[in-house]
Structure 1
Amino acid sequence: MGITERLKHLSWLGLVLAVVFAGMSLTPSLIPRNFLVQGILTGLVFSVGYALGRGSIVVLTYFELPAKRHNNAFLLALASALLFFGWSCLRTTTWANELREIMGMEAVTAVFVVQVVALASVVILVCFSIGAGVKWLWRRAVEKITHVLPGRAGALLSFLSVILVTIFGITGGLANLAVDILDGIYFVSNRTSEEGVEQPVRSSQAGSDASLITWDKTGKWGQDFIVSGPSREDLKAFGLENAQDPIRIYGGLELAETESERVDLVLTEMDRVGAFDRSILVLGTPTGTGWLDPGAVDALEYIHAGDTAIVGLQYSYTPSWMTILLDPNRSKQSSKALFDAVYDRWTKMDAETRPKLYLFGLSLGSMGSEAAASHFATLSDPIDGALRSGPPFPSDLWRELVASRTEGSPIWLPRVGDGSLLRFTGRESSLRDGYSEWANQRYVYIQHASDPMSWFGASLLYARPDWLSDEGRAEDISQYFDWYPVVTFFQVLFDIPISASPPYGFGHSFLPSSYVDAWLEVIPSETWTNEQTRMLKTQLDAEVD
């Protein structure tokens, strides 16, 4: 069949929807996209639009409803769609650069659009080739099944059979292959030490020769966590005369065969290095890769002059977005296992002399820390508080809290109750904006309006989200970002893997200064001054610039 004949068989509704969807995909979303991500997104969304249009025609035909193409109407609709796509291409650099300017990123040029269209064309060809294969498979299925079950029932059964085979083929074949490849890459990465990171020599440090934490089984980010951060000398140089070396303990995923064995080793190490003798004990649930944000942990150690013990337990070595797809419960199980063991020991200590107990979690670690300390399980002897940043969209507790916000407060900066127990903040601190006095327990969430890890959801397919309201839109959301059925779902989905690409303070990257403000609310220091706050913010933010 020649090209002309093939074009005649294209779905008129599918083609119009495809072109419109492609134009919509060029509008900005939460994260600035490079040409590679944008090109794949545009090509995929074009193909999805075509599939929806063609599928609609198939359904109308099946139920014997009007679906005939009227050439004049089709040409008018297609011409309008092409004009819209052309206008979108002309506007693309303006849209992209407005968001890039907000986030302090380098602007794109007109070449960006050319690259996007070229790559999108390749993606469309691949998707249409897959579609042609599915169509061929469907025809073979119709030939076989209609011999046994003739008529529309046989055609419907053929269609459903091919759809199921295609879905299982993609999810069970291509998806598994992609996951295996990525898993292998991140597995090797987890075993590769960061440049300049060397095993501790002080016997009092986790990971040293005297430690129960085997250094080469701690993982890349565990090693980095243990040896980085301020030393006693660094803290004294900052003006903290009574400083001591902070305690950091980390149980890598390969430390032992089972989770319970890893927890036992970590608990024994805590006893060995005197973690329970410090004034502040924090259980930190890392991200999917095992990373604990240096900006968060360093800030706490400065504020409290090293009189701290921070303990982490790795549950995965893949990024949070990937771990959510594979097994979102890993972070919950790991966080709860460590918490239960530490909490059991902590509750048996003298309440007057034991350390204050807090939780910390970033990204998927935030969701894990939510599951660690059940309110009812700790009701008789509650912990002292928690700091969580970048809560991901599957977080049940976070979603319930945001849904219960005070009327009139935006979803991206909600106010819950009188603020005596729980407060939300963003890039700039809002933790002292007209709240009541803190209660004994203090909980703080740091979240960005531009973080797709928090705001993604299936409802984007069919409903405008609250965080994209025309009233009270956050400053880091583009004025050109609008909601489009189906398209916005894919835009925000594609934003997730690149959510940490913007500078700190946007997307899924959090400024150390935001952590400084948050820790001072969750765990205040009586000796800390406003000048020290200013100095520490400047110092830590400069380190990530």
Structure 2
Amino acid sequence: MRLSKTFSVLGLLLGAIFFALSLTPSLIPRSPFMQGVLAGTAFTFGYFIGVFVHWLWNYLELPDIPIGHGVRKLLKRLALVACVSLIFFFLWRGVHWQNSVRALMGMQPVTGAGPFTVGSMALLIFLIFWVMGKGFRRIIRIVTEHLARHIPDRVALLVGLLVAIGLYWGILNGVLLNAGLQTVSFIYEKHDRAIAEGMKAPEDPDKTGGANSLLSWDSVGHQGRRFLTLGPTAEDIRGVAGLGREPIRVFVGLRAAETSMQRAFLALAELKRVNAFEREILLIATPTGAGWVDPGAVNTLEFLYRGDVATVAAQYSYLPSPIALLTDDQKGLVSARALFKVIYEYWEDLPVDTRPRLYLFGLSLGAQLSEDSFDFYDIIDDPIDGALWAGPPFGTGIWRTITDNRDPGTPAWLPQFKGGEIVRFGNQYGGYLGQEPWGRFRIAFLQHASDPIVFFDLRWMLQKPDWMERPRGPDVSPDLQWFPIVTMLQLIADLNLGIAPLEFGHRYSPDGYVLAWMALTEPPDWSEEELKHLRDKLKTYPVR
């Protein structure tokens, strides 16, 4: 019974329940390590709730349940046995659940070593949180005991709580987080400057980054050099489509100019220099945090239009998207708006019959920034042709409004809105459906039903998500269930996206982009056989 004296029995029981439920399937598979982190965190939440309920019961001076000492002791032992049994049963069952999700996505099953890794990691995580909690309580007790000599007990307790929160917040956020961000920023900026082996400046002096370019090869950064180098050539396009020309790509790195507006005008000048406004399609692509533009999206469009495409992008951060979202979100917004404004105002003044069709593209954070880069009222007199936004994060902006007000009978993971006259949704299996003709100005959302970045929302802590209603997306496990708090923790764990294969979760494939661009832009003269050849060819290009 020493365990019941050290830990709260109610906390252990609720913790075990939360632990068990965290092992059930969610949107994407989890590695044993990540499952252990999730299970330990879920156990900690359950334990904290149990401790809080016990404290609140005593604080309100409610009477204890009238049972004898022997019965109370027996119940505690039974509760501990139930905790251990529940944990071991669900650890064993969790392997089956993870393999069911992996099978759905064509992945190999996990090995039998998974439960041991999960259990060990969960125990470590809980002990870390428990030690932190003990330290938190000790700070409160010390402050309270000191102040209680001078002020009322409950006021002293409140002050002690605030002191403990302030101290922990200062250490975790003000010290550790800032030091971590500075270190990461330094590393990524240094990485951005380094020129990888084989990434040579274009031999053609007129290409962006070449001798005649307004943008030096050094200034475009690591992701810019990859973007400018690794796309299809005219020869590649002719090998698939019969005809083809060299696509135009322009990328403005952070070091090219001091401000976002200066970089936007540099982009415009470079576009004019390379005659980009004479192409059939002009694409403004908003990168993710470090300047990465999904090659699958741009390569696909260039093939579909036989190279008659000009794409422009501007970097706004050295940091990867999750960190940029927390630290540089305003920089990204300012950059996206500046680039759109400068290019749109020039494009708007061109003759309507000869100017290129203008589209926007963004993936993840890039989709969010691209969506916010313009105001519909600013383009209502002369609208652009459309936008493709893939994996829009956390259901914000237009996406939230449309999904929450979707046409009756359509699922949240593939909604229809006002008959599909302006906005349509699709995924790796198709979609882009509507009862009304798709107008000239078009918006397409490409989203996987298994993408936690898209469907994450704090509401799901206490509310069952609409996208879990049946029928579900074909890439979502039928075993997935909603549990208060636990489902939210599962979705947070799912944001660790590395384990999801291409075409699932937040990893969008060229095949999905073929479907999206075909529906959105309707490129002419593509047979099914040619599209199959195109899909095969696109698999030979890097996806990162």
For 2:125, the aligned partner's letter is V
**How big is each residue's C-alpha offset from its partner over 1:396-427, in whole Å with a ceiling of 9 and x where there is no partner?**
11111111211111111111112132110011
For 1:200, the aligned partner's letter is P
Q: Which moved more, 1:124-133 or 1:404-413?
A: 124-133
Task: Tell whether the 8 Å contact from 1:331 to 1:364 is kept in structure 2 after alignment.
Answer: no
TM-score (norm 2): 0.94
**How big is each residue's C-alpha offset from its partner over 1:339-362, in whole Å with a ceiling of 9 and x where there is no partner?**
000011111111111111110111
Task: Tell whether the 8 Å contact from 1:26 to 1:38 is kept in structure 2 after alignment.
Answer: yes
**Aligned equivalent of 2:466:** 466
Distance 1:185 1:21 in 2: 38
**Aligned equivalent of 1:170:** 172
For 1:186, the aligned partner's letter is Y
Q: Which moved more, 1:151-160 or 1:364-373?
A: 151-160
User: Which of 8, 16, 21 is the matching residue for 2:13?
Assistant: 16
Say whether residues 1:156 and 2:158 are aligned partners.
yes
For 1:439, the aligned partner's letter is G
Residues 289 and 194 (structure 1 numbering): CA distance in 2 closer, same or farther, change over 3 Å?
A: same
**Aligned equivalent of 2:115:** 113
3-state secondary structure, aligned to 1:238: helix
Aligned pairs (5 A) from 1:353-372 = 353-372=354-373
3-state secondary structure, aligned to 1:369: helix
**Aligned equivalent of 2:295:** 294
Distance 2:85 2:49 in 1: 21
Aligned pairs (5 A) from 1:117-156 = 117-156=119-158
For 2:36, the aligned partner's letter is G
Q: Which moved more, 1:420-429 or 1:77-86?
A: 77-86
**Aligned equivalent of 2:490:** 491
Distance 2:386 2:168 in 1: 48
For 1:16, the aligned partner's letter is L
For 2:171, the aligned partner's letter is G
Distance 1:338 1:394 in 2: 24
**Aligned equivalent of 2:272:** 271
**Aligned equivalent of 1:518:** 516
Say whether residues 1:442 and 2:445 are aligned partners.
no
3-state secondary structure, aligned to 1:449: coil
Runs of 4+ in 1 over 6 A off after TM superposition: none
Distance 1:184 1:47 in 2: 34
Distance 1:454 1:67 in 2: 47
Distance 1:411 1:329 in 2: 29
User: Which of 8, 32, 35 is the matching residue for 1:35?
Assistant: 32
* Deviation for aligned residue 1:336: 1.1
Distance 2:395 2:402 in 1: 13
Task: Tell whether the 8 Å contact from 1:192 to 1:220 is kept in structure 2 after alignment.
Answer: yes
Task: Tell whether the 8 Å contact from 2:295 to 2:542 is kept in structure 1 after alignment.
Answer: no
* Deviation for aligned residue 1:7: 4.8
**Aligned equivalent of 1:216:** 218
**How big is each residue's C-alpha offset from its partner over 1:455-512, in whole Å with a ceiling of 9 and x where there is no partner?**
112122211111122x21222112222122222212111211x225322110111110
**Aligned equivalent of 2:477:** 478
**Aligned equivalent of 1:340:** 341
Cα RMSD of the aligned pairs, angstroms, is 2.1
**How big is each residue's C-alpha offset from its partner over 1:126-149, in whole Å with a ceiling of 9 and x where there is no partner?**
222212211221111111221221
Residues 468 and 184 (structure 1 numbering): CA distance in 2 closer, same or farther, change over 3 Å?
A: farther
Task: Tell whether the 8 Å contact from 1:331 to 1:367 is kept in structure 2 after alignment.
Answer: no
Task: Tell whether the 8 Å contact from 2:40 to 2:124 is kept in structure 1 after alignment.
Answer: yes
3-state secondary structure, aligned to 2:431: coil
3-state secondary structure, aligned to 1:397: helix
Aligned pairs (5 A) from 1:231-250 = 231-241=233-243, 243-250=244-251
TM-score (norm 1): 0.94
Unaligned runs of 5+ in 1: none
**How big is each residue's C-alpha offset from its partner over 1:359-418, in whole Å with a ceiling of 9 and x where there is no partner?**
011111111111112111101111111111001015211111111211111111111112
Q: Which moved more, 1:221-230 or 1:168-177?
A: 168-177
Task: Tell whether the 8 Å contact from 2:241 to 2:303 is kept in structure 1 after alignment.
Answer: no
**Aligned equivalent of 1:61:** 58
Distance 2:242 2:436 in 1: 31
User: Which of 180, 183, 194 is the matching residue for 1:181?
Assistant: 183
Say whether residues 1:200 and 2:199 are aligned partners.
no
For 1:146, the aligned partner's letter is A
Residues 191 and 61 (structure 1 numbering): CA distance in 2 closer, same or farther, change over 3 Å?
A: farther
Identity %: 36
Q: Which moved more, 1:171-180 or 1:348-357?
A: 171-180
Distance 2:21 2:427 in 1: 29
3-state secondary structure, aligned to 2:359: strand
For 1:506, the aligned partner's letter is F
For 2:537, the aligned partner's letter is Q
* Deviation for aligned residue 1:195: 4.7
Q: Which moved more, 1:196-205 or 1:399-408?
A: 196-205
3-state secondary structure, aligned to 1:254: helix
Residues 75 and 494 (structure 1 numbering): CA distance in 2 closer, same or farther, change over 3 Å?
A: same
Task: Tell whether the 8 Å contact from 1:246 to 1:308 is kept in structure 2 after alignment.
Answer: yes
